Amino acid sequence: MKHVFESAKLGDLLLKNRLIRSATWEGVAARDGGISENAYAIYDELSKGGVGAIITGFTSVAENDHYFDGMMRLCSDALLPQYKRLADEIHANDTPVITQLALGAYYRDEHGYSEQVEPDEMTVEEIHLVIRQFIDAAVRAQKAGFDGVQIHAAHFFFLSRFISPAVNHRNDAYGGSPKNRSRILLEIMEGIHKEAPDLHITIKINSNDFTRGGLDEAECVNICKLLDKAGIDSIEISGNGTSVSGIRAHRNEGYFVPAAAAVADAVSCPVIAVGGFRALDTMEAVLNSTKITFLSLSRPLLCEPDWPNKLLADPSAVSKCISCNRCYSSPSHKCIFRGRDA
């Protein structure tokens, strides 16, 4: 029997329980990627709230990535002291921390202008530049003291688009078959293993692009098998579109569980399922009816950063998150019901 509140190994990382804070967008960083005092406070609260591990929000690997405002970045050594402080403060609360490495889009800077470039239009040299950016960011993460990195290949950001047959129509070594479209992921992972060997490497990937001609569950499973064979340490299964509204405890929880279970059946590394968990008995049923070994939470922790502690104290304490998704239109993605009964 697997239990949520038991220690468990995520690769080489020992977690005090099976709950992971899934990377969640905050948008509170400075333009250069510097960490604000607000961000330090967010992570201090989360790390005191009882999760087994934290995956930080979208952290860009490129200085010229303008996809969002307020992105954290690991694209400069000058930022290392701020990220070391973040890792140290989370570790002080006995919580491992993984930083999510991402690229919103690839931008080509020419003649004073910045132009977004899709995978089909990129040169091989530009693809290699992106791979280098991810590896360099991972090296900085290791220097800053993070326990791992998550390669963000979900939600139709750059890497998600690159591996999607709906977007990538290349006819070279980086296009065509799932293996070729996934080559960029495998080369990023290989480089991180070589140059930052102390890091746990996980990946977030769409189970389905929910887009005509896009990645489907069967292709997701095939790509995850390639990653597993190449030595990925864990896999988090998500889907295009970050969340479903109207989730209620014991009614419609765990909407990515079937896809995550299919991946878990096909790989040897730990699989993390995200998406709509609101009750302890539901989560334990998932753990014990599938090979899924960890569960990740996003919106419930916006509503109640200490929900894991509450759940440990009272196993019947369902999440107050009502899946209204209004957090996504609020400053720094805060729950509008914080401080009130939902």
Distance CA 22, CA 333 (A): 14
- HSE on the CB side for 273, CA within 13 Å? 26
Side chain identity, residue 160:
S
Q: Tokens 């990515």 belong to which residue?
A: 256
Q: Is 200 helix (H, G, I), strand (E, B) or coil?
A: strand
What's the average model confidence in pLDDT over 182-188? 98
- pLDDT tens-place string over residues 125-156: 999 999 999 999 999 999 999 999 999 999 99
| pLDDT above 90 coverage of the chain, percent | 86
Within a domain: residue 170? yes
User: In this model, does residue 89 exceed pLDDT 90?
Assistant: yes
In a domain, 1, yes or no: no
- Examine residue 3 and state whether it is found in any structural domain, yes or no: no
Q: Is 341 contained in some domain?
A: no
pLDDT at 329 over 80: no
93: in domain: yes
Between the CA of residue 11 and those of 64, 148, 195, 291, what are the distances in Å? 33, 10, 18, 15
- For residue 155, tell me if it sits in a domain: yes
Residue 104 within any structural domain of the chain = yes
**By residue range, what is the domain housing residue 159?**
8-333
- Residue 166, token pair as written in the block: 């709906």
* Domain contains 140: yes
pLDDT in tens, 224-272: 999 999 999 999 999 997 678 888 878 888 999 999 999 999 999 999 9
Q: What is the CATH number of the domain that holds 238?
A: 3.20.20.70
Average pLDDT of span 164-177:
97
> What is the pTM for the complete model shown?
0.96
pLDDT in tens, 35-67: 999 999 999 999 999 999 999 999 999 999 999
**Chain centre distance of CA 123:** 27
Q: How many domains does the chain have?
A: 1
Q: Look at residue 51 in the predicted model and tell me its pLDDT.
A: 98
322 vs 290, which has greater pLDDT?
290
